[in-house]
Amino acid sequence: MANLERLQPQWLLPIRPSATLLTDHDLVHDGGQIVAILPRKTADQDYPQATCLPLPGKVLMPGLINCHGHAAMTLLRGYADDFKLMTWLNDYIWPAEAKWVNREFVEAGAWLAATEMVQSGTTCAADSYFYPESTVAGFAKVGVRSQVTTPILSFPSAWADSEQQYLDKSLNFFEWAVGRPNLTTGFAPHAPYTVSDTGFEQILRYSEDLDLTIHLHLHESQEEITLHQAENGNRPIARLQALGLINSRLQAVHMTDLTEIEIDQLAAAKVRIAHCPESNLKLASGICPTPRLLSSGIIVGLGTDGAASNNDLDMFQELRTAAMLAKLTTGDPTALDAFSALEMATIGGAKFLGLSDLIGSLEPGKAADMIAVDLSDIRHQPVYHPMSQLAYTATGQDVTHTWVAGCLLYAERQHHSSDVAALTAEVAQWQTKIQGIS
């Protein structure tokens, strides 16, 4: 146990047991795993040889988990703001992607996104975008844990020419990804309006054969549902139900318009849902009925979506927005309380990704994916209830330390893995290209 370390925060929020907040406790980790959580006096006796890291004024808690994003699109942050979803996609984002997306674009954007996420407390991110190997490479420059899924579309892109080629490249990626650390994979058919029945049937067959998840934008807006009904005679969920895709492998993203019957179907099938409140608000897409889903026993995690439609990747702001929306839409201030919002951003996200045995809470035997959040600033005073401060006052700028698998990636607000100077220069080059500045 040569690397044994004791972290000594003022408060420790393990998430499990539920709503527990510890004071004067240490977390001991070694070799990427949590070894023990115990009172400081006991730790002095049991682990006298461990290196100690005092964290006064800070909460130690699990790293946040971003359940949905498109990391490469961080290079398009602010490129096309204040449009509705279909206008934003058809008139701005897809044309820009057709012109600029390549392996280098994706790696640079993923590097930028991972750096921002680690800096703001996210230790694991779900991502779907073209050139997935490049996303993995960009994430590896920082050290973030990830689920990287492969897009499937019925029209060509820079990455593939047809649904079949998307599928073939996906299978090649899955083979390439086997054994890579801190990485899981899956399919990401874009949406019901961009994938054919044949495409969905093939994805379903492969997902069953390979035991892979299906990550899908679904019921993202009323406009999407109206168009689908006009073209197909039914709502998207009904079509997917008929195709067999409403099942426990499905990770459904957005879900802003749901009937009671649909919620019952989703619950029975054990579909998992990613709620992206700020992106949905910014695009005026709608509001996911989070309290109703949770009361039905559905697993709900939180996502930022891409920075091109958010425009940041700050999961603390996301969980606060989720709590506020739940209160407003139900007329009940208890609908999503502070701890429940923190839970959605941690263990809820881990369950969404199928990783709750590994991450999402601070427990002996789990991976040491952790963050320290500073509550000593005047903005947080007085601190009556640290969980309330985290949910309703904190932002990603309060994160001082981030660990993934016990590796310290960010400490005292300085990056240990990402070369920020080189990243800034590369991003500036991409901005110049995209803006057309000579």
DSSP string covering 19-88: T--EESEEEEEETTEEEEEEEHHHHHHH-TTSEEEEEEEEEEEEPEEE----GGGGGGTTTS-S--HHHI
pLDDT at 438: 41
pLDDT at 437: 63
| CA dihedral over 349, 353, 356, 361, signed as positive or negative | negative
User: Distance between CA 70 and CA 213 in Å, rounded?
Assistant: 17
Q: Residue 110: which of 183, 216, 57, 161 has the closest Cα? A: 183
Q: Residue 370: which of 346, 339, 396 has the closest Cα? A: 346
Distances (CA, A) of 122 to 21, 160, 237, 325, 374: 20, 30, 31, 22, 15
* Residue 29, beta-bridge partner list: 5, 34
- For the chain (438 residues), the mean pLDDT of every run of 10, in chain order, is 87 97 98 97 96 98 98 96 91 93 98 98 98 98 98 95 97 97 97 96 98 97 92 95 98 97 98 98 96 98 96 98 98 97 98 98 98 97 98 98 98 97 97 82
pLDDT at 107: 98
pLDDT at 436: 82
The residues, ordered by sequence, that sit 6+ positions from 94 with a Cβ below 8 Å of its Cβ are none
Q: Give me the chain's average pLDDT, please.
A: 96
**DSSP symbol at 437:** -
The residues, ordered by sequence, that sit 6+ positions from 313 with a Cβ below 8 Å of its Cβ are 66, 69, 74, 113, 116, 117, 120, 122, 304, 307, 396
pTM: predicted TM-score of the whole model, two decimal places = 0.97
